[in-house]
Amino acid sequence: METIQGRLRLLKSPLRVLLDGGEEIHLTGMEACTYRLLDECKERGLTQGEANPPGLAFRWPVYISGLRGKGIGIETLWERTPSGARIGRYILRCNLKFVSV
């Protein structure tokens, strides 16, 4: 059985991807983790509250911003929670090609 710490270690491992225009970028740490989680969710996307493993949710917008700054297309869809709060659902919107770890 996989532990939370083991999953986080795997998600945070470095990776290289090619952007749509052919530029290669390197992702490490929590940016790599955020990218992998978004990629796993596909069209469903992910909200800050759904971000997992624990501890990721608090800084989720910072990691999303870092990925956008590197040229990765991420769409934000705004939703209302049952309590009426407004939250963003983030969806990966680019065709990245995985190069290597």
CATH of 4-95, one of 3.30.70, 1.10.10, 1.10.3470, 1.20.1250: 1.10.10
32 CB contacts (<8 Å, ≥6 apart)? 11, 12, 13, 14, 15
* Residue ranges per structural domain of the chain: 4-95
Q: What is the pTM of this model?
A: 0.83
Q: What share of the chain is helix, strand, coil (3-state, %, to 5)?
A: 40, 30, 35
The pLDDT tens digits for 26-41 are 999 889 988 988 988 8
Tell me, what's the pLDDT at 68? 96
Average pLDDT value for residue range 73-91 = 93
**Distances from the Cα of 8 to the Cα of 38, 53, 55, angstroms:** 14, 6, 10
pLDDT score recorded for residue 56 = 65
pLDDT in tens, 13-69: 899 998 888 889 999 988 998 898 898 888 999 888 887 655 566 788 899 999 999
Q: Give the chain's count of helices (H) and strands (E).
A: 3, 6
